Amino acid sequence: MKHDAEHLSPSGQQLLNRGAFLSNSATALSSIALTSLLGREGLLAGRRPVIDPSQPYAARAPHFAPKAKNVLVIFCPGAVSQLETWDYKPELIKQDGKPLAGGPAVTFQGPSGNLAKPQYEFRPRGQTGKMVSEMIPHLAELTDDIAFIHSLTSKSNTHGPAENFLSTGFVQDGFPSMGGWVSYALGSENQNLPAFVSIPDPRGIPQASVNNWGPGFLPAEFQGTPFSASKPVRHLTPPAGITTDQNQAARSLLQQMNVRHLEKHPGDGKLAARIASYELAARMQLSVPQIGDLSSEPAHVLKSYGADNASNPIKAGFAKNCILARRLIESGVRFVQLFNGAYASGGQLNWDGHKDLKKQYDVHAEILDQPAAALIKDLRDRGLLEETLVVWCTEFGRMPMFQKGAKGRDHNPDGFTCWMTGAGVKPGVSHGLTDELGREAIHDVHPLYDFNATILHLLGLDHEQLTFYHNGIERRLTNVEGNVISEVIG
């Protein structure tokens, strides 16, 4: 089973038929035979990974030497305000309460109110002296290690499509997620765990739900497997009433039956791959509960993450998810996506602070700050940041005005902040600018395509080369856009 048809690029075939070395009478068969040759020569449209169906998660080589081997994405759904966190705007303090001259009369939810100053104090941090908000004191301690991009833009001002855009490069439903692309390209270092794990927030799933970790049209192997410290992988064990013996007997009998069937169909790779998948499943049944069992974590670790916080169970729950994320990275899982926040709910359950931003952010920041900061420090202390890229992101930003009649900010896709730290990232960088009020990006403007292209680049992947053919188009994470943001690369 050297060459599944999936690996044969139709454009590659096209090319074969057009190439000078093949006559016009070249048959499909001879082009197929030559595909492997061309694949090695790098002549196919995209440099697609070759997947061995019996080992879909086998580690695969990137396009060029990577700076990072794996990725942790901390995703805060609901649109975290750049103005309350990392994009300090002294002019906005001055203009507090005044109307925004020439600003939009109507934004996503309705009429605009007046400009409103940042709802938290800012202080200079570390050696860079960058002003960071008091809302996130623990994360602020990491300022010197972070590369901020303050000038990102999104193509949608609606949460669902914008989450799609951030996670898949398209606003529509149904495109492969970034984690899917990465595990498709690189496989994983651990053959007993999924290559891509998605950890939902204790409060619920994000707005665009499975779009954020779905396979789209990539093979199903490359979808994220959702589980968290409190929610195990589905169907990891049989339902109550099935004994261990019965379980073992069913497995052995199945193995016998499948092997016998394979003997009658010698050489059938698909049948062999299914047998292998049951073996991998059996290994996952052992390794997933181990990885999710935090009982071996010492008290000081639990404490540093805030996982022992009995008075704030959501924070403790998120902190446990952070510890789980570290354990997954430690075990060589290629792509870990960690959610902080659930679906839109008038800002109750995620960062969608429309009504009373300060009050809601007090709650959300408490949940995010200590655990996420502890996670990054823990990764650093264990030396894991040498090879792990940590990305913090949100789908868009918020307006410098309050909404009319409210104390919160409306959606703003025109200029917002996400950041990276860890492997391959230039520390202490603040790249790109929004205007003096933080309304829109004005300098080094980067659509999220660029952000995603940069993540792939750090993993040794050329975002223009990582393609998958679907419905007439060699699809990419970055559509037909994307420029690597070299300023944040170390």
Give residues 368-407 in contact with another protein (rule: CB under 8 A): none
Which residue in 62, 78, 118, 194 binds another protein (CB under 8 A)? 194
Q: Which of 465, 467, 458, 464 is nearest to 485 (CA)?
A: 458
Alpha helices (runs of H) in 225-339, residue ranges in sequence order: 244-264, 269-292, 299-305, 313-330
And the tokens for 358?
A: 């300060």
- Residue 364 engages another protein in binding (rule: CB under 8 A): no
Taking CB under 8 A as the rule, does residue 110 contact another protein? yes
State the minimum distance, in angstroms, from the CB of residue 195 to another protein: 11
* Ordered DSSP codes for 414-455: TSEEEEEEETTBPTTEEE-EE-TTSSSEEES-EEHHHHHHHH
- Contact between 4 and another protein by CB under 8 A: the answer reads yes
Q: Could you tell me how many residues of this chain bind another protein (CB under 8 A)?
A: 120
Which of 351, 285, 287, 296 has the alpha carbon at shortest distance from 323?
A: 296
Candidates 15-23, 119-127, 322-330, 386-394: pick the segment binding another protein (CB under 8 A). Answer: 15-23
CA distance 231 to 251: 25
286 binds another protein (CB under 8 A): no
Q: Are 103 and 458 in contact (CB under 8 A)?
A: no
Q: Does 37 contact another protein by CB under 8 A? A: no
297 touches another protein by CB under 8 A = no
Sign of the alpha-carbon torsion through 457, 459, 462, 467:
negative
Contacts of another protein in 448-477 (CB under 8 A): 464, 469-474
Separation CA 467–CA 476 (nearest Å): 5
Angle among Cα 384, 389, 395 to the nearest 5 degrees reads 140
Pair 307, 372: CB distance under 8 Å = no
Smaller CB separation from another protein, 123 or 404: 404
Among residues 117, 137, 144, 209, which is the contact residue for another protein, using CB under 8 A?
209
Q: Is 207 in the site for another protein (CB under 8 A)?
A: yes
| By CB under 8 A, residue 40 contacts another protein | no
Give min distance, CB of 97 to another protein, in A. 19
Point out which span in 81-89, 92-100, 146-154, 253-261 binds another protein (CB under 8 A): 253-261
Residues in the chain: 490
Site for another protein in 52-91 (CB under 8 A): 53-54, 56
256 in contact with another protein (CB under 8 A): yes
Q: Which two tokens stand for residue 36?
A: 């492997």
CB of 168 to another protein, least distance (A): 9
Stretch binding another protein (CB under 8 A), from 51-59, 298-306, 385-393, 444-452 = 51-59
Stretch that binds another protein, among 223-231, 327-335, 364-372, 440-448 (CB under 8 A): 223-231
What CA–CA distance (Å, rounded) separates 3 from 219?
15
Which of 159, 334, 431, 446 lies at the binding interface for another protein (CB under 8 A)? Answer: 159
